[in-house]
Amino acid sequence: MKKISGNIVELTVNDLDKCRSFWDIPSKLAAPMTSGEKKAFAYRSGYTYIGGCALSIKENRGLFSYFAVSPDFRGNGIGSRIINFAAIYFMNMGLKEMRLHVHKNNTGAIRLYERNGFVYDSDITSEKIAMIKTL
Ligand SMILES: CC(C)(COP(=O)(O)OP(=O)(O)OC[C@H]1O[C@@H](n2cnc3c(N)ncnc32)[C@H](O)[C@@H]1OP(=O)(O)O)[C@@H](O)C(=O)NCCC(=O)NCCS
């Protein structure tokens, strides 16, 4: 694990193009960002964006989505830092719970979520589960 210095910044719609190394189709976030439904954040190291997530609030719960780190930078703790940032963000908004959806076969991500305090909540479809973390 190498320490990759950087910090987490909020993205504008104009920044989305710089996030192609970790989001397949960053422009999918443009509409929910413009409507105010989601806020997008990225881990920035120098001028390079290397990981990100989107945050929204529904029924008094924080929703964590679009979570990804550039393949070249995985395994260095950046994912955990993004999760931690999201938990603090939602906590500061007074929320008590944070939630996400993950494919059942994404065992690496599920293990990472469990290490960061998430537990299984429910099945969403035959392929996806919801996990929650108490804040
Ligand atoms: C899940 C993801 C965001 C984690 O980011 P990260 O910066 O590698 O996370 P961390 O370094 O904090 O933690 C590493 C853990 O991530 C998991 N992981 C998944 N794919 C990995 C990869 N290619 N390399 C290293 N770790 C990976 C492992 O569980 C690892 O933990 P381990 O040490 O128990 O094996 C990243 O692997 C990713 O972008 N995956 C593809 C997109 C995805 O699956 N997103 C989640 C959708 S719900």
Q: Is residue 1 part of a domain?
A: no
Lowest mean pLDDT among 2-6, 7-11, 48-52, 101-105: 2-6
Q: Give the model's confidence band at 117: pLDDT under 50 very low, under 70 low, under 90 confident, else very high.
A: very high
Q: Is residue 2 part of a domain?
A: no
Residue 74 CB less than 6 A away from ligand 1: yes
Nearest Cα residue to atom 20 of ligand 1: 108
Q: Give the model's confidence band at 1: pLDDT under 50 very low, under 70 low, under 90 confident, else very high.
A: confident
Nearest Cα residue to atom 28 of ligand 1: 108
Q: 89 alpha carbon to ligand 1 midpoint, in Å?
A: 21
In this predicted structure, the answer to whether residue 4 has a pLDDT above a threshold of 90 is: no
pLDDT at 2: 82
d(CA 132, CA 23): 23
Residue 110 CB less than 6 A away from ligand 1: no
Domain of residue 70 covers: 7-134
Q: Which of 2, 112, 121, 124 to mutate to test the pocket of ligand 1 (most atoms within 8 A of CB)?
A: 112
Q: Taking a C-beta distance cutoff of 8 angstroms, is the pair 83, 41 a contact?
A: no
- How far CA 24 is from CA of 18, 29, 79, 85, in Å, comes to 11, 11, 17, 22
Residue whose C-alpha is closest to residue 16's, from 5, 30, 4, 1: 30
CATH of the domain at 53: 3.40.630.30
Q: Is residue 17 part of a domain?
A: yes
Q: Taking a C-beta distance cutoff of 8 angstroms, is the pair 95, 107 a contact?
A: no
pTM of the model: 0.95
pLDDT at 60: 94
Q: Determine the 3-state secondary structure of 82 from DSSP.
A: helix
Domain count, the chain: 1
Q: Which atom of ligand 1 is nearest to the CA of 69?
A: 39
pLDDT at 61: 96
Q: 135 alpha carbon to ligand 1 midpoint, in Å?
A: 22
Q: Determine the 3-state secondary structure of 110 from DSSP.
A: helix
Q: Which of 74, 121, 131 to mutate to test the pocket of ligand 1 (most atoms within 8 A of CB)?
A: 74
Span 78-116, pLDDT tens digits: 999 999 999 999 999 999 999 999 999 999 999 999 999
Q: Taking a C-beta distance cutoff of 8 angstroms, is the pair 41, 52 a contact?
A: yes
What is the mean predicted confidence (pLDDT) over 62-88? 97
Span 19-51, pLDDT tens digits: 999 999 999 999 999 999 999 999 999 999 999
